Amino acid sequence: MSLQHSLLVLLSESPATGYELSQTFKKGVGYFWKASHQQIYLQLKKLSEVGWLEFVIEVQRGKPDKKIYQITEAGKAVLNAWLSSEVKPPKTNDALLVMIYGGKHVKPDVLIKEIERHKSIHSKGLKKLLDIETLYLSLSDDEKKKYRLPYLTLRRGISGEQSWLVWAEEVLIELMSD
Amino acid sequence: MSLQHSLLVLLSESPATGYELSQTFKKGVGYFWKASHQQIYLQLKKLSEVGWLEFVIEVQRGKPDKKIYQITEAGKAVLNAWLSSEVKPPKTNDALLVMIYGGKHVKPDVLIKEIERHKSIHSKGLKKLLDIETLYLSLSDDEKKKYRLPYLTLRRGISGEQSWLVWAEEVLIELMSD
DNA sequence: TAGACCATGTAACAAGTTACATGATTGC
DNA sequence: GCAATCATGTAACTTGTTACATGGTCTA
């Protein structure tokens, strides 16, 4: 299960709470890994039980206490082993493509509308990624070096979205041509 | 659950057995929908129970009997309603990107090797899709019209793979530059 | 004053994965 | 003789989803 590995990777940078990790998945690395807060809390619990993470509790008033998770030596060992292993390419289940594939049963405008909706989602996604890229490019050479690998994954996100949008344009032109 | 909708889409073309559908997912539309044979058999069963599919049994010797599934009128109605609905963009969970993101804990060659492995998987995938495209492009205009929508989804597969490979080249160059 | 944010979870259910099972036929 | 193909499934387990719960603070 790779959500566990994703959590280990993020926590190998610095300790964090489940909530913070959840935000990171949503805003930071969401372009290559999605996870709900429920799954995150569950897996953090499991990772603690096997001893790959440990946590300290920060008492709060009015809110539930914070659990600040930290990777253990055992966790680091597991992470390093995983980083040298073979991983599966992501499995794709793309409902929009299923829809287009079987789209002859509905009028083209129905498809066009839904594709436009996805276009705006992808455009927003791309914009966000480009903003992060701008931020990265403004860093000093030293800091750029530090974030070199995350930046490469960001590049995947950016070119993936761009490629999607180019395709969508082609599809819309084709669908509107009749 | 969209595996159900994928099955309805495929069966709206022509009746088929679970095994045949399984092959279609593996060889035909696998670039946008993955499903195991176990899940397919399970969902076909569920779809029959709610009356969106029906099946006839073809008795065989030596092998288990064939169940030939067919979409019902109720199934067609459900499919048409779904085709006009809003669907979610696919959720991505890309373990290779997690690996690269956290890759500073291992030597670059470890990453390079794994990326090369994925490169060959994607190259093979692209080759298959291009073969299907060649086939499509050799069809008569009438037949091209018929497969116009599936072809648009094929285009997504092709440009997605091409974009992936371009990115991988950039990453390899970057990783080998030190 | 309403909605977003902070911060954590439980419970019920659906979906997906992995391993196992059967057994004949066809091709290398 | 061994692997692949045909053809279907069960069982155990893991993951993911959806709904619900709590309750204070902060901002428009």
Domain termination residue (choose one: B83, B104, B137): B83
Q: Does A106 touch chain B (CB under 8 A)?
A: yes
Give me the DSSP letters along B36-97: -HHHHHHHHHHHHHTTSEEEEEE--SSSPPEEEEEE-HHHHHHHHHHHTS--PPPPPB-HHH
B153–A86 CB contact, under 8 Å: no
Chain segment B97-106, per-residue pLDDT in tens: 999 999 999 9
Same domain, A69 and A100: no
Q: Is residue B26 part of a domain?
A: yes
Domain termination residue (choose one: A83, A113, A130): A83
Same domain, A47 and A112: no
Same domain, A121 and A69: no
CB pairs under 8 A between A and B: 179
Q: Is A119 exposed, middle or buried (0-12, 13-18, 19+ CB in 10 A)?
A: middle
- Chain A residues 39-78 within an 8 A CB cutoff of chain B: 76
Q: Which of A101, A164, A172 to mutate to test the interface with B (most CBs of B within 10 A)?
A: A101
- Chain A residues 155-174 within an 8 A CB cutoff of chain B: 155-156, 159-160, 162-164, 166-167, 170-171, 174
Q: Which of A87, A109, A146, A161 to mutate to test the interface with B (most CBs of B within 10 A)?
A: A87
Q: Is residue A90 part of a domain?
A: no
**Domain containing residue B66:** 2-83
Q: Is residue A88 part of a domain?
A: no
Give me the DSSP letters along chain A: -HHHHHHHHHHHHS-EEHHHHHHIIIIISTTTB---HHHHHHHHHHHHHTTSEEEEEE--SSSPPEEEEEE-HHHHHHHHHHHTS--PPPPPB-HHHHHHHTGGGS-HHHHHHHHHHHHHHHHHHHHHHHHHHHHHHTS-HHHHHHTHHHHHHHHHHHHHHHHHHHHHHHHHHHHHT-
Tell me the C-alpha distance between A157 and A66, whole Å.
32
Model pLDDT, residue A64: 77
Same domain, B53 and B112: no
Model pLDDT, residue B59: 83
Tell me the C-alpha distance between B99 and B102, whole Å.
5
Same domain, A141 and A166: yes
Q: Is residue B89 part of a domain?
A: no
Q: Is A64 exposed, middle or buried (0-12, 13-18, 19+ CB in 10 A)?
A: exposed
Same domain, A79 and A149: no
Tell me which of A59 and B6 has the higher pLDDT: B6
Measured CA B117 to C1' C17 distance, in angstroms: 23
CB B80 within 8 A of CB A105: yes
Q: pLDDT digit of tens for each residue in chain A (178 aa)?
A: 799 999 999 999 999 999 999 999 999 999 999 999 999 999 999 999 999 999 999 887 767 789 999 999 999 999 999 999 999 999 999 999 999 999 999 999 999 999 999 999 999 999 999 999 999 999 999 999 999 999 999 999 999 999 999 999 999 999 998 7
Q: Is residue A100 part of a domain?
A: yes
Same domain, B74 and B125: no
Same domain, A72 and A107: no
Residue indicated by tokens 């029959």 = B48
Model pLDDT, residue A56: 93
Q: Is residue B88 part of a domain?
A: no
Measured CA A54 to C1' C10 distance, in angstroms: 22
Q: Is residue A61 part of a domain?
A: yes
State the DSSP code for B34.
Answer: -
Which CATH number do you get for residue B41?
Answer: 1.10.10.10
Q: Name every residue whose Cβ is closer than 8 Å to that of residue B11 and which is 6 or more positions away in sequence.
A: B21, B53, B69, B70, B71, B75
Chain A closest-CA separation from residue B17 CA (Å): 19
Same domain, B71 and B129: no
pLDDT value at B36 more than 90 = yes
A101–B9 CB contact, under 8 Å: yes
Which amino acid is located at B30 in the chain? G
Same domain, B71 and B18: yes
Same domain, B159 and B123: yes
Q: Is residue B77 part of a domain?
A: yes
Tell me the C-alpha distance between A42 and A21, whole Å.
13
Q: Of the candidates B79, B6, B14, which has an alpha carbon nearest to the alpha carbon of residue B39? A: B6
Contacts of A114 in chain B (CB under 8 A): 86-87
Contacts of B2 in chain A (CB under 8 A): 93, 95, 98
Contacts of A93 in chain B (CB under 8 A): 2-3, 32-34, 90
Domain termination residue (choose one: A59, A83, A107): A83
Domain count, chain A: 2
Same domain, A58 and A105: no
